[in-house]
Each structure stands twice: as C-alpha cells, then as structure tokens.
Structure 1
Amino acid sequence: MGDLIDIFFTPWGWVGLGLVLLVLEVLAPGTFMLWLGLAALMTAISTGVFGLGLELQLITFAIYSVVAVLIGRSYFRRKPGREPEVTVNAPAARQIGRDVVVVDALEGGKGRVRMDDTTWSASGADAPVGTRLKVVGIEGATLKVAAK
C-alpha cells in the first residue's frame, strides 16, 4: 500500500489523475470533471515546484478544486448565449410565438384555436372564428393568445 501511495502522490500521479478526469469530462460532459481535472493538474505543478508532502497535496487539491469550480460556475453564469433551455421538460412551451386560428370563438376569454392539425383550448381577448392570433403563453394545456 505504501508503494501505491508513493507512486500516486507525485507530480506524475496528479497529471495522470488530471488527464483521467479530463477524459471523463469528454465522455460524460457536464463541465464538472473539467474543473477537478484542472485542479489535479495545478496540484501536479505545485507538487513538482514546491515538493509538497501527502497532506499538503490533498489540501492543495481540495483548495484548487473549490476555486476551479467557483470560477467555472461564475464564468458560465456570465457567458452570453448559455441560458438554459426552458422548453426541455415543457414541450408545449415551444408553441409560444406561433400563429393560431380561432376555430371556436373566444367568448368570455375562453375558446379553441387551431395550430397545424391540432386544436387547443385557448384563453385571451374575445375573438370571432377565423381570427389569426399569436400564442403568448401556456397555462397547463391552455394556450394564452393575443392579437398579432
């Protein structure tokens, strides 16, 4: 067991761990293993430069891991165009912005509209049959519609 510890807790052991974590990130992307892999590589550099012992290597890896994850989270929060897709678990939300035609007049704020080959319950301002409207929201299985 002592030989295994002596082999792993060297700069090359940390480089190996860092590369394994980076490969795992490629195989199962989620931008978490990336930061741990970078922390392992930074630990390798610190171990090589300062000759850190076992305890200091583990503490250094822990510190680099926390810092790397925090920096990564901060970066992806600010990066434009990386907003989460809000329609992943709400397929009906993809209908927002689409055009519909009233098939059962909207009276009292309720009626039915046709989109493609499907009719949907709709809510919105009163509108006669044949009126073209736009979907502006979804509430349950009811489309919220408004004038184009």
Structure 2
Amino acid sequence: MEPMLDFFTAAGPWGWFIAGLLLLVAELILPGVFLMWVGIAAIILGALSLLFWPFGFWGWQLQVLLFAVLSVIAILVGRKILKNRETTSDEPLLNQRAASLVGRTAVVIDAITDGRGRIKLDDTLWVVEGPDLPVGAHVRIVSGDGRRLTVAPLETP
C-alpha cells in the first residue's frame, strides 16, 4: 500500500485522474462494463481533489473512503442505466431453436401415444407432445420450449 500512497502523494490531485484513465483503458482491454464505473469514480474524485487538495481535512484516508463510496454509487447508477437500455434484435429467436420452429409443419414418424411421439423436421428427429396421432399424420408445431415441441394435428380442408 505504501507505493500507492507515495504515488498519490507525489502526483497530487492528478493521481486520481491517472488512476481513472488507467481503469478506463483497462475496461477497453478487459471489457465487462465494470471498470468503467470505477474509473469514472476516480475521475470524479480527481476533480474533487483539485478543489480540496490545499485543505488539511483532505487526507488520503478520506480520499480512499470517498473513492469507495463513489465507486459503489457509480456502479449502481451504471447498472440502472444499462438495465433500462432497450436492446432489440433483428434475430429475436437466435439460439432458441425450438421456439423458432413454431408454425412449421412436419410428419409424425413414431405415433403419438399417451401424448408423446416423434416427428422428423428437416434432418432432425424431435420428441413431441400432443394428441394421439398415427404415423404419417401431418402436424403443425404450436409451441417450443428447450428440447420439447408441442404439436397439433394439421387441419385438412
């Protein structure tokens, strides 16, 4: 801790600006949207240090305490900002394969008995749930959740 104390004593109020900028650069190298808020807290503390450096009460203990408090506040505010940010996707069903199959039709390859059977869709066999149906029946996928599909008989005109 003594080398850090020596650094901040020698750098004066600019030490917090340097620490803040280093934390922001570290955020670029190790992205995670955490160090950015701590870096912002350090920069704010640097601005406060420019104002209060000449006064006797502005010791390193108060600065470290304020840095901790400002970091927590900055992280909480940052989380709130990021949580409220609306993210829309051009592929809302990406990585939700079963949900993306809803509406497609398939043929029963293992009869659906007692509510369970199998269908073949493209090159994949799927376990399905639905009303009892014989092999060869055409079905429409009505919902998908994880690895489970629910089917309904395809209505014939």
By the TM > 0.5 criterion, same fold? yes
Q: Per the alignment, in what secondary structure is the counterpart of residue 20 of structure 1?
A: helix
2:13 paired residue among 5, 8, 11: 11
TM-score of the superposed pair, with normalisation by structure 2: 0.74
1:134 paired residue among 137, 141, 145: 141
Q: Per the alignment, in what secondary structure is the counterpart of residue 87 of structure 2?
A: coil
2:47 paired residue among 45, 48, 53: 45
User: Which residue type is aligned with residue 112 of structure 1?
Assistant: R
User: Which residue type is aligned with residue 146 of structure 1?
Assistant: V
Q: Per the alignment, in what secondary structure is the counterpart of residue 96 of structure 1?
A: helix
For the 8 Å contact 2:139–2:151, the answer to whether it is kept is: no
2:121 alignment partner in structure 1: 115
For the 8 Å contact 1:76–1:82, the answer to whether it is kept is: no
| Alignment of 1:78 onto 2:77 | no
Matching of residues 23-62 of structure 1 within 5 Å: 23-51=25-53, 52-62=58-68
Structure 2: runs of 5+ lacking an equivalent: none
Write the distance in 2 (CA, Å) between the matches of 1:16 and 1:138: 50
Structure 1: runs of 5+ lacking an equivalent: none
Structure 1 pair 27/66, CA: closer, same or farther in 2 (3 Å)?
same
Write the distance in 2 (CA, Å) between the matches of 1:130 and 1:136: 18
1:20 alignment partner in structure 2: 22
Percentage identity across paired residues of the two chains: 34
Quote the offset at 1:39 in angstroms: 0.5
1:96 alignment partner in structure 2: 99
Measured against aligned partners, the alpha-carbon deviations of 1:118-139 in whole angstroms (never above 9, x if no partner) come to 1122222334434232262336
TM-score of the superposed pair, with normalisation by structure 1: 0.78
Q: How many residues align?
A: 139
Runs of 4+ off more than 6 Å:
none
Write the distance in 2 (CA, Å) between the matches of 1:137 and 1:106: 17
Q: Per the alignment, in what secondary structure is the counterpart of residue 67 of structure 2?
A: helix
For the 8 Å contact 1:14–1:44, the answer to whether it is kept is: yes
Select the structure of larger CA radius of gyration.
Answer: 2
